[in-house]
Amino acid sequence: MSINSTSSKIFNRLENILIIGNGGRENSLAWAIQKNELVKKVYLIPGNSGSERINKCERIKIDINNEIELVEKLDFLKIDLIVIGPEIPLANGLADFLRKKDFKVFGPGKDGAKLEYSKSWAKEFMREANIPTANFWKVNSLEEAKNIIHTSPMPLVVKADGLASGKGVFIPDSKDECFRAAELIFNGKFGKSGNSIVLEEKIQGPEVSVFALCDGQKYVLLPTAQDHKRLNEKDKGPNTGGMGAYSPAPLLTEDNLDKITKEIIKPTIDGLNRKNITYKGVIYFGLMITESGAKVIEYNCRFGDPECQTIMPLMDKNFVSLLEKCSMGNLTGDEKISTSDKVSGCVIATSKGYPNEYKTGFPITIGKIDSIDCQIFDSGTATGKNGELLTDGGRVLSIVCQDKDFDMVFERAYKNLKEIKFDGIYFRNDIGHQVRKKLSTEN
């Protein structure tokens, strides 16, 4: 390693930041990170077509799996902090590898990422740590699954154990559908991720996402958020990666959050420590607020998408320092995240057909968008031969607005969204219905 490169890792500098990932989440992280005047450059590997519209941002073409080339490039660029966005590189141990090369990394090692990449491991972890969650059974064969489904008085939720891009969860209405879901998974629909399955008691209640930035021992909480997972209005239709979100979630009062901290967040960090897992990154707690209190539906080892796009505009310029402190194990735990006093809302525009098959390559035109408190974060876009912006994914882009209340937020989000056009554009008109006065009385 060159002398230059080593110096960039030793000094407490925050000049050059690298973000790994190519979604709207990573663009919103870059947008929040570049606000800090210490930051000179934010690199994204690979980013997408929207990345370079963000101040100080540059995309890098390099294969993250080519370890030698990657380290050489990061040394050359004198990268001071690396933020890993998606779950797959985390589950593959990229954070461990980069830490061994002396980089400061925000993102858990392979051991911590197991919270997300093995649902059965996460459920067993919760059982051991006495963390409230739905009852479950881990099963390794269709026969075993059939017995449990058959003897259960209610249809059970069926989940592939491993990563399945958010598609491995089935919520059947009948036992027959449960069998079919289990069969589909064991027949290889999700490859190795379906070698075992988790059957879960179906629980009910509104869902909320809580994010803890962890330094291995201590943590700070970001504003809460609520996502809209279903494709269609009135929360109908198939599950998606997320069609929109709002933050903070008024559903969680300070008292609720204190209880959740005591019963869920702290026991999770303590449980990880008991297993000698030093978790330096964000833990995403997907919670369901049931009649008997908050229960963990899932853990993720990354920021939520689109919750991240929604929360990032509420962060002040010190956000990047918090990530750095986490990467170094230096949080005091008393940090007050200073956020805007506004609220934020995000609407995702998708390609027609998503979350199933869809076409890409349609030109996107963007008219006049508010210049203050309104952001567009590209999720799936590409640049055409003549420099034009093209659709390149199921979720194409998000529009995010901040204002005094949610009615104003979404009025502006939808007004600005009218300025964005592409063939087959689809979005829900009722994002934030729970917190919009007019819509919440209609629903």
- Smallest CA-to-CA distance from 185 within 152, 154, 140 is with 140
Question: How many amino acids of this chain bind ligand GLY (CB under 6 A)?
Answer: 8
Subset of 414-443 contacting ligand GLY (CB under 6 A): none
Q: Of ligand AMP, ligand GLY, none, which one does residue 142 interact with (CB within 5 to 8 Å by kind)?
A: none
Contacts of 155 (CB under 8 A, 6+ apart): 149, 172, 173, 174, 175, 177, 178, 202
> What one-character DSSP code corresponds to residue 264?
I
Q: Of ligand AMP, ligand GLY, none, which one does residue 169 interact with (CB within 5 to 8 Å by kind)?
A: ligand AMP
Q: Of ligand AMP, ligand GLY, none, which one does residue 321 interact with (CB within 5 to 8 Å by kind)?
A: none
- Smallest CA-to-CA distance from 203 within 293, 124, 134 is with 134
- Region from 66-74, 116-124, 289-297, 304-312 binding ligand GLY, contact rule CB under 6 A: 304-312
Contacts of 321 (CB under 8 A, 6+ apart): 14, 36
Residue selected from 85, 112, 304, 432 as contacting ligand GLY according to rule CB under 6 A: 304
Find where tokens 């491995």 sit: 168
In the complex with ligand GLY, the residue whose CB is nearer, 89 or 304, is 304
Residue selected from 49, 196, 300, 327 as contacting ligand GLY according to rule CB under 6 A: 300
Residue 227 in the binding site for ligand GLY (CB under 6 A):
yes
Smallest gap from residue 284 Cβ to ligand GLY (A): 7
Q: Of ligand GLY, ligand AMP, none, which one does residue 155 interact with (CB within 5 to 8 Å by kind)?
A: none
- Region from 39-47, 185-193, 298-306, 366-374 binding ligand GLY, contact rule CB under 6 A: 298-306
Residue selected from 26, 161, 200, 307 as contacting ligand GLY according to rule CB under 6 A: 307
Residue 305 in the binding site for ligand GLY (CB under 6 A):
yes
User: How buried is 145 (Cβ within 10 angstroms: 0-12 exposed, 13-18 middle, 19+ buried)?
Assistant: buried
In the complex with ligand AMP, the residue whose CB is nearer, 123 or 325, is 123
Whether 434 and 206 have beta carbons less than 8 Å apart is answered as yes
- Smallest CA-to-CA distance from 210 within 168, 278, 269 is with 269
Provide the CA 13 distance to its chain's centre, in angstroms. 27
